[in-house]
Amino acid sequence: MKLSARNQIPGRITSIDLDGLMAEVSVDIGAGHTLTSVITRRSADAMALRAGDEVTVVIKSTEIMVAK
């Protein structure tokens, strides 16, 4: 599948926390960094996501904030 989003980061799922209608998916992207995404449980089930799966994290945002 091709996407227009430029921020595509490969990684491996380290954990999935299913809670009601939502799923929190943590992905190891290397160098000691983890990205976590909250998606619907239906999406997690439809993709049959499991810890250890290789995935691509896609970041598509109109705004990114940095605060100090």
The tally of domains found in the chain comes to 1
Over its length of 68 residues, how does the chain's per-residue pLDDT go in tens digits? Answer: 788 888 899 999 999 999 999 999 999 999 999 999 999 999 999 999 999 999 999 988 778 788 89
**Does some domain include residue 65?**
no
**Does some domain include residue 42?**
yes
Q: 60 exposed, middle or buried (CB, 10 Å; 0-12, 13-18, 19+)?
A: exposed
**Does some domain include residue 17?**
yes
Domain with 13 in it: what CATH number?
2.40.50.100
**Does some domain include residue 64?**
no
**Does some domain include residue 53?**
yes
Q: Give residue 4's pLDDT.
A: 86
- Helices then strands (H, E): number in the chain? 1, 4
Q: Give the tokens for residue 36.
A: 């976590």
Domain that holds residue 28: 7-59
